[in-house]
Amino acid sequence: MGHGGAVSSTHRRPTSKLCLWILGVLDQIISIIFITPCVVGYWRGSWQLLDIFLLPDNFKYSVFTSLGIGLGSGLFFTLIQGPLSRGCDHERRPRLHLFVSRLYTFVYCFCCVNHWRGVWAAWDLYTGITWKSGMLSTGIGYLVLCLTRGLNNILAPPFYVCMDAPAQYFTVPTLFQTKKERCGYFLLDVFFTVILTVSLVVFVWRGTWVFMDDLLFPEKKVYSAWGSLALGCMVTLLVVIAQLVMIPCLRHIRKGVGKVLLEDAYHSICFVGTINIWRGIWMLLDIYLLP
Protein backbone atom coordinates (compact mmCIF):
# COMPACT_ATOMS: atom_id res chain seq x y z
CA MET A 1 0.00 0.00 0.00
CA GLY A 2 2.80 2.36 0.96
CA HIS A 3 4.66 1.47 -2.21
CA GLY A 4 1.56 2.15 -4.31
CA GLY A 5 1.19 5.57 -2.67
CA ALA A 6 4.79 6.46 -3.53
CA VAL A 7 4.30 5.54 -7.16
CA SER A 8 1.12 7.63 -7.31
CA SER A 9 2.97 10.65 -5.89
CA THR A 10 5.71 10.26 -8.47
CA HIS A 11 3.19 10.21 -11.30
CA ARG A 12 1.43 13.30 -9.98
CA ARG A 13 4.50 15.55 -10.25
CA PRO A 14 4.56 15.88 -14.06
CA THR A 15 0.79 16.39 -14.01
CA SER A 16 1.02 19.20 -11.46
CA LYS A 17 3.81 20.87 -13.47
CA LEU A 18 1.71 20.62 -16.63
CA CYS A 19 -1.29 22.15 -14.84
CA LEU A 20 0.91 24.97 -13.55
CA TRP A 21 2.23 25.60 -17.04
CA ILE A 22 -1.26 25.63 -18.57
CA LEU A 23 -2.62 27.94 -15.85
CA GLY A 24 0.31 30.31 -16.32
CA VAL A 25 -0.28 30.55 -20.06
CA LEU A 26 -4.06 30.97 -19.62
CA ASP A 27 -3.52 33.66 -16.99
CA GLN A 28 -1.29 35.61 -19.37
CA ILE A 29 -3.75 35.21 -22.26
CA ILE A 30 -6.58 36.59 -20.09
CA SER A 31 -4.37 39.49 -19.10
CA ILE A 32 -3.53 40.23 -22.74
CA ILE A 33 -7.07 39.88 -24.11
CA PHE A 34 -9.15 41.52 -21.35
CA ILE A 35 -7.18 43.46 -18.74
CA THR A 36 -4.54 45.18 -20.87
CA PRO A 37 -6.94 46.58 -23.52
CA CYS A 38 -9.10 48.09 -20.76
CA VAL A 39 -6.08 49.73 -19.12
CA VAL A 40 -4.75 51.02 -22.43
CA GLY A 41 -8.21 52.33 -23.33
CA TYR A 42 -8.37 54.29 -20.09
CA TRP A 43 -4.93 55.80 -20.57
CA ARG A 44 -5.54 56.69 -24.20
CA GLY A 45 -8.92 58.27 -23.46
CA SER A 46 -7.64 60.32 -20.52
CA TRP A 47 -4.59 61.45 -22.49
CA GLN A 48 -6.72 62.59 -25.42
CA LEU A 49 -9.13 64.46 -23.14
CA LEU A 50 -6.18 66.37 -21.71
CA ASP A 51 -4.95 67.17 -25.24
CA ILE A 52 -8.40 68.53 -26.11
CA PHE A 53 -9.39 70.41 -22.96
CA LEU A 54 -6.22 71.35 -21.04
CA LEU A 55 -5.07 74.66 -22.53
CA PRO A 56 -5.28 73.41 -26.14
CA ASP A 57 -4.22 76.79 -27.57
CA ASN A 58 -0.87 76.81 -25.74
CA PHE A 59 0.95 73.50 -25.90
CA LYS A 60 3.80 74.57 -23.62
CA TYR A 61 1.46 75.72 -20.83
CA SER A 62 -0.58 72.55 -21.27
CA VAL A 63 2.51 70.38 -20.88
CA PHE A 64 3.77 72.08 -17.74
CA THR A 65 0.29 72.21 -16.21
CA SER A 66 0.06 68.44 -16.66
CA LEU A 67 3.52 68.04 -15.17
CA GLY A 68 2.62 70.19 -12.17
CA ILE A 69 -0.61 68.29 -11.54
CA GLY A 70 1.18 64.95 -11.85
CA LEU A 71 4.12 65.76 -9.59
CA GLY A 72 2.06 67.60 -6.98
CA SER A 73 -0.59 64.90 -6.73
CA GLY A 74 2.02 62.13 -6.65
CA LEU A 75 3.73 63.74 -3.67
CA PHE A 76 0.39 64.43 -1.98
CA PHE A 77 -1.02 60.91 -2.27
CA THR A 78 2.26 59.35 -1.17
CA LEU A 79 2.48 61.56 1.91
CA ILE A 80 -1.14 60.99 3.04
CA GLN A 81 -1.13 57.20 2.59
CA GLY A 82 -0.78 56.60 6.35
CA PRO A 83 -3.67 58.81 7.55
CA LEU A 84 -5.83 57.63 4.65
CA SER A 85 -5.26 53.97 5.51
CA ARG A 86 -6.09 54.55 9.18
CA GLY A 87 -9.16 56.70 8.52
CA CYS A 88 -10.66 54.37 5.91
CA ASP A 89 -9.88 51.00 7.45
CA HIS A 90 -11.81 48.35 5.52
CA GLU A 91 -12.57 46.25 8.61
CA ARG A 92 -13.98 49.06 10.77
CA ARG A 93 -15.51 51.23 8.02
CA PRO A 94 -16.18 48.99 4.99
CA ARG A 95 -18.66 51.35 3.28
CA LEU A 96 -16.43 54.37 3.72
CA HIS A 97 -13.47 52.37 2.46
CA LEU A 98 -15.40 51.26 -0.63
CA PHE A 99 -16.46 54.81 -1.50
CA VAL A 100 -13.12 56.50 -0.79
CA SER A 101 -11.08 53.79 -2.51
CA ARG A 102 -13.08 54.13 -5.76
CA LEU A 103 -12.79 57.92 -5.67
CA TYR A 104 -9.09 57.66 -4.78
CA THR A 105 -8.44 55.34 -7.72
CA PHE A 106 -10.25 57.59 -10.18
CA VAL A 107 -8.45 60.76 -9.07
CA TYR A 108 -5.01 59.18 -8.65
CA CYS A 109 -5.13 57.45 -12.04
CA PHE A 110 -6.02 60.71 -13.76
CA CYS A 111 -3.16 62.44 -11.95
CA CYS A 112 -0.77 59.68 -13.07
CA VAL A 113 -1.79 60.26 -16.68
CA ASN A 114 -1.00 63.95 -16.17
CA HIS A 115 2.47 63.13 -14.86
CA TRP A 116 3.24 60.84 -17.79
CA ARG A 117 1.82 63.28 -20.33
CA GLY A 118 3.83 66.15 -18.85
CA VAL A 119 7.16 64.33 -18.93
CA TRP A 120 6.49 62.72 -22.33
CA ALA A 121 5.36 65.93 -24.01
CA ALA A 122 8.24 67.93 -22.49
CA TRP A 123 10.68 65.59 -24.23
CA ASP A 124 8.75 66.01 -27.49
CA LEU A 125 8.69 69.79 -27.05
CA TYR A 126 12.40 70.30 -26.42
CA THR A 127 14.09 67.42 -28.28
CA GLY A 128 11.68 66.67 -31.12
CA ILE A 129 10.15 63.34 -32.11
CA THR A 130 13.05 61.52 -33.74
CA TRP A 131 14.79 58.19 -33.22
CA LYS A 132 17.80 60.05 -31.79
CA SER A 133 15.59 61.70 -29.18
CA GLY A 134 14.04 58.32 -28.46
CA MET A 135 17.41 56.64 -27.97
CA LEU A 136 18.57 59.44 -25.65
CA SER A 137 15.38 59.29 -23.60
CA THR A 138 15.51 55.50 -23.27
CA GLY A 139 19.25 55.44 -22.55
CA ILE A 140 19.08 57.94 -19.69
CA GLY A 141 16.05 56.34 -18.08
CA TYR A 142 17.27 52.77 -18.47
CA LEU A 143 20.77 53.47 -17.13
CA VAL A 144 19.65 55.36 -14.03
CA LEU A 145 16.90 52.84 -13.22
CA CYS A 146 19.45 50.01 -13.49
CA LEU A 147 21.84 51.83 -11.16
CA THR A 148 19.10 52.52 -8.59
CA ARG A 149 17.67 48.98 -8.86
CA GLY A 150 14.31 50.29 -10.03
CA LEU A 151 14.08 48.73 -13.48
CA ASN A 152 11.07 46.58 -12.55
CA ASN A 153 9.00 49.79 -12.49
CA ILE A 154 8.97 49.88 -16.31
CA LEU A 155 6.55 46.93 -16.37
CA ALA A 156 2.78 47.26 -16.78
CA PRO A 157 -0.10 44.97 -17.81
CA PRO A 158 -0.02 42.23 -19.03
CA PHE A 159 3.07 41.47 -16.92
CA TYR A 160 2.11 43.56 -13.92
CA VAL A 161 -1.51 43.26 -12.78
CA CYS A 162 -2.88 44.43 -9.41
CA MET A 163 -6.14 43.26 -7.86
CA ASP A 164 -8.38 45.59 -5.83
CA ALA A 165 -7.72 43.94 -2.47
CA PRO A 166 -8.83 46.11 0.48
CA ALA A 167 -5.72 45.44 2.57
CA GLN A 168 -3.08 48.16 2.07
CA TYR A 169 -5.16 49.70 -0.70
CA PHE A 170 -3.82 53.20 -0.10
CA THR A 171 -0.20 52.14 0.36
CA VAL A 172 2.10 53.74 -2.21
CA PRO A 173 5.39 51.82 -2.43
CA THR A 174 8.56 53.91 -2.54
CA LEU A 175 11.85 52.93 -4.12
CA PHE A 176 13.83 52.44 -0.92
CA GLN A 177 10.84 51.47 1.28
CA THR A 178 11.96 53.78 4.08
CA LYS A 179 9.96 53.55 7.31
CA LYS A 180 7.65 56.50 7.96
CA GLU A 181 9.05 56.89 11.48
CA ARG A 182 12.31 58.14 9.96
CA CYS A 183 10.65 61.33 8.77
CA GLY A 184 13.56 62.99 6.96
CA TYR A 185 14.63 59.87 5.09
CA PHE A 186 11.01 59.03 4.27
CA LEU A 187 10.46 62.47 2.71
CA LEU A 188 13.62 62.08 0.63
CA ASP A 189 12.46 58.63 -0.47
CA VAL A 190 9.06 60.05 -1.47
CA PHE A 191 10.61 62.90 -3.47
CA PHE A 192 13.09 60.55 -5.13
CA THR A 193 10.38 58.04 -6.05
CA VAL A 194 7.80 60.49 -7.40
CA ILE A 195 10.02 63.08 -9.07
CA LEU A 196 12.89 60.94 -10.32
CA THR A 197 11.90 57.27 -10.54
CA VAL A 198 8.46 57.71 -12.11
CA SER A 199 9.83 60.29 -14.55
CA LEU A 200 12.65 57.94 -15.54
CA VAL A 201 10.09 55.23 -16.27
CA VAL A 202 8.37 57.68 -18.63
CA PHE A 203 11.77 58.38 -20.25
CA VAL A 204 12.14 54.69 -21.09
CA TRP A 205 8.57 54.27 -22.36
CA ARG A 206 8.59 57.43 -24.41
CA GLY A 207 11.97 56.74 -25.98
CA THR A 208 11.15 53.15 -26.90
CA TRP A 209 7.75 54.16 -28.30
CA VAL A 210 9.29 56.89 -30.48
CA PHE A 211 12.01 54.48 -31.64
CA MET A 212 9.37 51.88 -32.58
CA ASP A 213 7.48 54.53 -34.55
CA ASP A 214 10.59 55.08 -36.68
CA LEU A 215 11.57 51.42 -36.88
CA LEU A 216 8.37 49.42 -37.48
CA PHE A 217 6.67 50.29 -40.80
CA PRO A 218 6.93 54.07 -40.27
CA GLU A 219 5.00 54.84 -43.47
CA LYS A 220 2.19 52.34 -42.87
CA LYS A 221 0.37 52.93 -39.60
CA VAL A 222 -1.90 49.89 -39.91
CA TYR A 223 1.02 47.51 -40.47
CA SER A 224 2.93 49.16 -37.64
CA ALA A 225 0.03 48.72 -35.21
CA TRP A 226 -0.64 45.07 -36.04
CA GLY A 227 3.08 44.30 -36.17
CA SER A 228 3.61 45.83 -32.75
CA LEU A 229 0.70 43.90 -31.25
CA ALA A 230 1.86 40.61 -32.78
CA LEU A 231 5.42 41.15 -31.57
CA GLY A 232 4.24 42.03 -28.07
CA CYS A 233 1.97 39.00 -27.77
CA MET A 234 4.66 36.67 -29.09
CA VAL A 235 7.31 37.97 -26.67
CA THR A 236 4.88 37.84 -23.75
CA LEU A 237 3.83 34.24 -24.33
CA LEU A 238 7.42 33.12 -24.94
CA VAL A 239 8.51 34.74 -21.67
CA VAL A 240 5.72 32.98 -19.76
CA ILE A 241 6.69 29.61 -21.22
CA ALA A 242 10.40 30.25 -20.66
CA GLN A 243 10.02 31.29 -17.04
CA LEU A 244 8.02 28.17 -16.16
CA VAL A 245 10.80 26.05 -17.65
CA MET A 246 13.77 28.06 -16.36
CA ILE A 247 12.72 28.97 -12.81
CA PRO A 248 13.60 25.54 -11.35
CA CYS A 249 17.01 25.71 -13.06
CA LEU A 250 17.83 29.19 -11.75
CA ARG A 251 16.76 28.86 -8.12
CA HIS A 252 20.38 28.50 -7.00
CA ILE A 253 21.11 32.10 -8.08
CA ARG A 254 19.94 33.86 -4.93
CA LYS A 255 22.25 36.89 -4.70
CA GLY A 256 25.17 38.69 -6.26
CA VAL A 257 25.83 40.16 -9.68
CA GLY A 258 24.37 37.13 -11.44
CA LYS A 259 20.99 37.64 -9.77
CA VAL A 260 20.97 41.37 -10.62
CA LEU A 261 21.87 40.78 -14.26
CA LEU A 262 19.30 38.01 -14.59
CA GLU A 263 16.53 40.18 -13.11
CA ASP A 264 17.40 43.17 -15.31
CA ALA A 265 17.49 40.97 -18.42
CA TYR A 266 14.10 39.48 -17.51
CA HIS A 267 12.53 42.90 -16.90
CA SER A 268 13.97 44.22 -20.17
CA ILE A 269 12.53 41.35 -22.22
CA CYS A 270 9.16 41.67 -20.48
CA PHE A 271 9.20 45.39 -21.24
CA VAL A 272 9.63 44.72 -24.97
CA GLY A 273 6.48 42.62 -24.88
CA THR A 274 4.60 45.12 -22.72
CA ILE A 275 5.27 48.28 -24.70
CA ASN A 276 4.56 46.62 -28.04
CA ILE A 277 1.19 45.36 -26.83
CA TRP A 278 0.35 48.84 -25.49
CA ARG A 279 1.50 50.55 -28.66
CA GLY A 280 -0.39 48.10 -30.85
CA ILE A 281 -3.68 48.44 -28.95
CA TRP A 282 -3.33 52.24 -28.70
CA MET A 283 -2.74 52.61 -32.44
CA LEU A 284 -5.52 50.17 -33.36
CA LEU A 285 -7.95 52.22 -31.26
CA ASP A 286 -6.78 55.29 -33.19
CA ILE A 287 -7.30 53.55 -36.53
CA TYR A 288 -10.47 51.50 -36.13
CA LEU A 289 -12.52 52.35 -33.08
CA LEU A 290 -12.16 55.91 -31.82
CA PRO A 291 -10.04 57.93 -34.26
Q: Which amino acid is residue 103, in one-letter code?
A: L
Separation between Cα atoms, residue 270 and residue 252, nearest integer Å: 22
| 111-132 per-position pLDDT tens digit | 999 999 999 999 999 999 999 9
Burial of residue 291 (CB within 10 Å: 0-12, 13-18, 19+) is exposed
Q: What is the pLDDT of residue 132?
A: 93
| 75-84 per-position pLDDT tens digit | 999 988 888 8
Give the pLDDT band (50/70/90) at residue 263.
confident
Q: What is the pLDDT of residue 8?
A: 42
- Average pLDDT estimate for 44-68: 96
Upper half-sphere CA count for residue 188 (Cβ side, 13 Å) = 7
Least confident range of 7-21, 71-85, 147-161, 185-199: 7-21
CA-CA-CA-CA dihedral for 100, 102, 103, 108, to nearest 10: 110
C-alpha 1, offset from chain centre: 52
- Average pLDDT estimate for 53-82: 94
Helix or strand or coil: residue 210? helix
For residue 13, is pLDDT > 60?
A: no
For residue 180, is pLDDT > 60?
A: yes
